[in-house]
Structure formats: structure tokens, C-alpha cells
Amino acid sequence: MDFATFLIQLLNSVQYGLLLFMLAAGLTLIFGIMGVVNLAHGSFYMLGAYLGYSLSGQFGSLTLAILGGAVLAVVFGLALEWLLFRHFYHRDHLDQVLLTFGLIYIFEELRSILWGDDVHGVAIPAMLDWSIALTDTLSYPVYRLFISGVCIALALGLYLLISKTRLGMKIRAGAFNRDMAESLGVNIKLIHATVFALGVGLAAVAGMVAAPVSSVYPNMGSSVLIMCFVVVVIGGIGSVRGALISALLVGLVDTFGKVLLPSMSGMLVYMLMAAVLLWKPEGLFKQ
Amino acid sequence: MSTPRANIEVLPRSVQFSLALGLAALLLFPVVGSDFYVQMVTRMMIMAIFAMSLDLLQGVTGLVSLGHAAYFGVAGYALAFLTPADVPVSLWWSLPLAVAGSGLVALIIGFFVVRTHGIYFIMVTMAFAQMVFYLFFDNKLLGGSDGLYINFRPDASVFGWLPFDLEGRKTFYYFTLALVVLVYVLLRRLLWSPLGRALSGIRINEHRMRAMGFGTRGYKLTAFSVAGALAGLAGYLWGAQTGYVNPELMGFHMSAHAIMMVILGGMGNFAGAIVGAFAFEYLLHVFKDITKHWQLLMGGFIVLVVVAAPRGLLGMLGQRRAAKTQEDPHHG
């Protein structure tokens, strides 16, 4: 592997890792703060991708599609939280698994009714549809850098929100000791709704920005969900920092595995997970 | 982490009576039922074995495995690999081998998963099962996404003498029924054995069990492997009945269906798993009959069941008992 190929794979793995982080961060926050297993998290990613597909076709502008799609997804998430999820914060995991499994069925069918079962491509916006030449023969698509850029910006925003703002303080307080926070006047219901909407929004935006690269297709949610689980298990539940590091790790192992060990690339990520479980059953950065 | 809900282990007389009636009905059914329904009920019974195997984890030990279909599928594939293209394979060695294979896969995966708890356990079982799924899905040698055909049902002959012929629909039906009864009796025995009592203890309070000197990890691994092997028995039968295996058998929907069956019927007593498997498969059949958008109905139904939170059909009886005896302090 020469240096340019190496660089391309490195950029690809970082991009994939950052994308996984967007999803895993929402998942881990919803676990960590509300204690909810959300199998339907992948469906929000799928929802985002399909919304992006429709909206970018409608507006002809990806920026508008992302903004509009994010708003729609967040509203949808809030409605879902209010209607169903808030009743499940204190139920056992089994109930949460079943609820969100039922939701997967509903979302999949709705997707099939609304958008059909075909694979759709999403056009890369003209402004971002060019490549940077790395060597005479190799170049790197700018759109992939754009995906990484969006993810980094959102990750930074998330970090600032949680660690520097008043809202973030309340979120942390609620995660640390719910009853204590509540008795100190934190509106925990509002916090939960906010965190949930945040998770949904992150997943949906991830789906939207990834759509031009991965295209949109049925069941795209479930495969990404499994990867998110792997990331969260490696990183440790509730740890956003752990999710970031393990998402990048998973991105590296997966991308380079496909190049260096194509025959067993599918297994490598799980082997990584197994190794981490042997070493630290609660993940690398258990909170 | 929350413990799964209280369950009834001692079946009330009324339930025992219903089970006996159900068994009688199943024994008589092929006499009156058409071929189509005989096959459908056979499939329900296969799923009942699958559901019972999961109940050992979910209802008895309190471990929610979201990857149980992996072991189901592995045995189905084992049968596909063991059956030559032009002749049947002998039942007498292929069945034990397939079941042992599933148990072994469960033992290996279990070694990793029993180190985890609660939410982690759910996610890790699902992730490992998905790994097995993709192993078969992506691998042309293992059949790939198209799956594999099994041209013949296993052959039950012993040194040229054929006690029963599984190619016959009714014979296969009774063979499956016999295995349902066998698995049920074995699991009920196990429930009241020292191992079963230890597993129940782990569900109710694992810390206390450890403090009393039980190596809970070993117990959980045992339960996980036994459950995997029994899931394999169901998967073997599935492969034999349908003559076809594909990666979907190990998929996440299959695992979730098993969970749903156990919930629907009521956890922790194996009778509920049987009832739940029948009820769930029947519903699936009805929904698919009504509309091609059956997933919408199924999803709606699942959400409704969880929101309304009945503890399964048999579990409703258990709820009353649990309220009386208060055997599980975590859930009122």
C-alpha cells in the first residue's frame, strides 16, 4: 500500500467513524440518561436518508434538505417521545426492546408505502461534486470531506452543549442522579425530551449527509444499528467520549480490514468487540 | 438494571388441564386437518421448541438474548451441509451433530456475552448473532444470501429397518410433536433441578447468588449453551421441514419474534412459550392474509401488547399469584 492509498483509506475510515459517532452518540446518550434501549435508532438514520432524498429532490439544495430534514426529524422524534417513549423510561429493557422492535416494523412498512422498495441514489450537490488530487492518479472526493466536516461540527456542538451550557449541566445532573436533579428544580421530563430529540436529530442528519455516498435502500437502518451497538459496547454506555474513540477505532478496523484482509473483513469489528469484552466487559470508558 | 418480571413456575391446575387438552387436540389434529394446516401446525410446534429454548434464558435466568436465532440457523445450515445432493442423511447422527454444533457456537459466543449485564447483554448477543448472519450472508461457500436447499428430509432408518419415514407430512408432524413434549418435560425437570433453581436465583438477585458462593458466570454459560443447543434442535427441524435454509433464519427479526412469543405466552414456565409460539405464528398468518402491509399490523400489535403490558396470556394468572406471594420485590 503506497502512501496515497493509505491516506485515502485513512480519510475514509475517519469519515465512516465520524458518521458512526453521530449515531452512537445519540444512542449512548439515550441509554445513559434515560436508560432506554432503542432498537429503532437505526430507523431514524433511515428516515433521515429518505427525507434527504425527497427534500433534496424537492428543493434542489442539500443545505435546505439537511436543515429542513433535521427539523422534521426532530419534530417527529419529539412526538414519538411524548406519545410512547416517555412511558418506557422506567420499564424493563425487555419492554423497551419489544416497543422499539414493533416500531421498526411500523417504520419499515411506512417507508415501503411512502418510498417503495427500490434503491435510490441521491445526487451530490454540484458545489461539492469535485475531487482533490492526491497524486497524478489518485484523488479524493470533496463530498466525503464535507461529511466529516459536518460530523466534526456537530460533535463539537454536542461537546459544547453538554459541557459548557446550562442545559448541558442539567442533562449531566439528570444522568448522574435523577431524583436529586429533579428536587433541585430541573424539569427532567423536558430534559429527557430534549435528549431524545437530540439523538433523533443526530441520527437523521447522519442519514442525510451519508445518503449521496451510501444511497438510500430498505433495511439500511438495521445494519447501521448493529455497528452502533458495537461502537457503544466498545466505548462504554453513556460515555460520549468513549463513543467517539470507539467509533473511530471501528471505522479504522472496518475500512482497513476491507483492504488488507478482505476475506474476513466482516468479522474483524466483532473480533475487536470480543477482545474488548474480555478485557473490559463494561467498555473502555464506562461512566 | 432491572430484573425481568415475576413469573409463574408452578402451573395452576387450570393451565395443566389446558395443556393436556391442547396435547390431545394436537394428537388428533392430523386426522381432521388438511395438509396445509398440518404443515402450519408443524411449523408452530417447531417455533414452540425455539421459544421454549429462549425462555430458559429470558424467563428463567433473566437474560434477554436478542441473538437467539443464530443458534437456530446454525443447526438448519448444519443439516443443509450434512445432506448430500442425491441421498438423505441419517437422522441418527445428523440431528445430534447439528444440535451439538449449535450448542458449541452458543458456548463460544456465550463465553463472551455472559461477562456482560443488562443492556450490554442485549446488545452483545445481537451483535454476535449479526456476525454469524453476515458470515453466512456474505460467504458464497456457505450459500450466501440465496441460502441452500435441502433435497431430502433426514432418513430414520436403522440398519435397513425404517421405523418411521419423515418424508410423510403426518409422520414429520408427530415426530415434531414428540420432540415438543420431550423438550417441555426436560425443561420442566431442569427448572426444578439444582441447576434450574440456581438459574432462577440468578434472575431474582445475581449479587446474592454470588455472595452465597455460586459461580454465576458458569451457570449462565451453561444455560446459554443448553438454550443454544435446543434452539438448534428447532432449527434442524425447520430445515428438514422446509427443505431450505437462508440467512434470514439467523436474522434479528427471527430473534425478536422468539422474544415476542415468550412474552406473549408468559415467561419462565415453558408452557407460556408454547402458547405464545402458537399465538404469534397464528397472528402472523392472519396478518399476512389481511394485507400485504402486514408488517404495519404486526408492529402495531407488538406496540399495543407492550403498552397495554399484559404479562402474557398465561402470565396474567401469574400476575395474580405474584401479587399474592410477592416473590419478586422489584416489580409490583
**Alpha carbons A57 and B110: distance in angstroms, whole number:** 47
Residues 6+ apart with CB under 8 A from B125: B64, B65, B66, B67, B68, B109, B113
| Contacts with B296 from chain A: Cβ below 8 Å | 105-106, 109-110, 113
Instruction: Verify whether the Cβ–Cβ distance B124 to A277 is below 8 Å.
Output: yes
- Interface ipTM: 0.88
pLDDT tens profile A188-225: 889 899 999 999 999 999 999 998 888 899 888 888 99
Cβ pair A81, A189 in contact under 8 A: no
Q: What is the pLDDT, as a whole number, of residue B319?
A: 53
Q: What is the pLDDT, as a whole number, of residue B87?
A: 92
Cβ of B134 under 8 Å from any chain A Cβ? Answer: yes
Residue B313 or residue B155, greater confidence: B155
Mean pLDDT estimate for chain A:
89
Q: What percent of chain B has pLDDT over 70?
A: 90
Residue with cell string 421405523: B163
Residue B320 or residue A108, greater confidence: A108
pTM score: 0.91
Residues 6+ apart with CB under 8 A from B52: B183, B184, B187, B230, B270, B273, B274
Label the pairing between strands A139-141 and A131-133.
Answer: antiparallel
Cβ pair A49, A115 in contact under 8 A: no
Q: At what angle do helices A265-279 and B91-113 cross, to 10 degrees?
A: 60
Q: Which residues of A touch B (CB under 8 A)?
A: 31, 35, 37, 84, 87, 91-95, 97-99, 101-110, 112-113, 222, 226, 229-230, 232-233, 237, 266-267, 270, 273-274, 277-278, 281-283
- What chain A residue is nearest to B264 in terms of C-alpha separation? A98
Q: What is the pLDDT, as a whole number, of residue B309?
A: 61
pLDDT tens profile B88-123: 999 999 999 999 999 999 999 999 999 998 888 999
Cβ pair B157, B249 in contact under 8 A: no
Mean pLDDT estimate for chain B:
89
Q: At what angle do helices A142-164 and A166-176 cross, to 10 degrees?
A: 70
Q: What's the mean pLDDT in B160-185?
A: 94
* pLDDT of residue A154 exceeding 80: yes
A-B contacts at Cβ under 8 angstroms: 125
pLDDT tens profile A223-282: 899 899 999 999 988 888 899 999 999 999 999 998 888 877 778 899 899 899 888 888
pLDDT tens profile B284-309: 999 999 999 999 999 999 998 888 76
Instruction: Verify whether the Cβ–Cβ distance A102 to B293 is below 8 Å.
Output: no
Binned at pLDDT 50, 70 and 90, residue B325 comes out as very low
Q: What's the mean pLDDT in B12-37?
A: 92
Cβ of B126 under 8 Å from any chain A Cβ? Answer: yes
| Contacts with A103 from chain B: Cβ below 8 Å | 299, 303
- What chain B residue is nearest to A226 in terms of C-alpha separation? B127
* pLDDT of residue B222 exceeding 70: yes
* pLDDT of residue B212 exceeding 80: yes
Q: What is the pLDDT, as a whole number, of residue B299?
A: 94
Binned at pLDDT 50, 70 and 90, residue A56 comes out as confident
Binned at pLDDT 50, 70 and 90, residue B79 comes out as very high
* pLDDT of residue B330 exceeding 70: no
To the nearest whole Å, the CA of A127 is away from the closest chain B CA by: 36
Q: What's the mean pLDDT in B124-143?
A: 90
pLDDT tens profile A87-100: 888 888 888 999 99
- What chain B residue is nearest to A105 in terms of C-alpha separation? B299
Residue with cell string 389434529: B29
Instruction: Verify whether the Cβ–Cβ distance A102 to B130 is below 8 Å.
Output: no
Binned at pLDDT 50, 70 and 90, residue B4 comes out as very low
Sign of the Cα pseudo-torsion (A178, A179, A180, A184, in order): positive
* pLDDT of residue B13 exceeding 90: no
| Contacts with A91 from chain B: Cβ below 8 Å | 2, 309
Residue with cell string 471501528: A250
User: Which stretch, A135-139, B8-12, B17-21, B134-138, has highest mean pLDDT?
Assistant: B17-21
C-alpha cell at B226: 443448553
**Alpha carbons B145 and B150: distance in angstroms, whole number:** 16
**Alpha carbons A203 and A19: distance in angstroms, whole number:** 9
**Alpha carbons A47 and B315: distance in angstroms, whole number:** 36
* pLDDT of residue B317 exceeding 60: no
* pLDDT of residue A48 exceeding 50: yes
Main-chain phi, psi angles of A216, to 5 degrees: -110, 135
Q: Nearest CB to A105: which of B66, B130, B299?
A: B299
Cβ of B119 under 8 Å from any chain A Cβ? Answer: yes
Instruction: Verify whether the Cβ–Cβ distance B116 to A102 is below 8 Å.
Output: no
**Alpha carbons A276 and A235: distance in angstroms, whole number:** 9
| Contacts with A277 from chain B: Cβ below 8 Å | 112-113, 115-116, 124
Cβ pair B125, B228 in contact under 8 A: no
Instruction: Verify whether the Cβ–Cβ distance A106 to B120 is below 8 Å.
Output: no
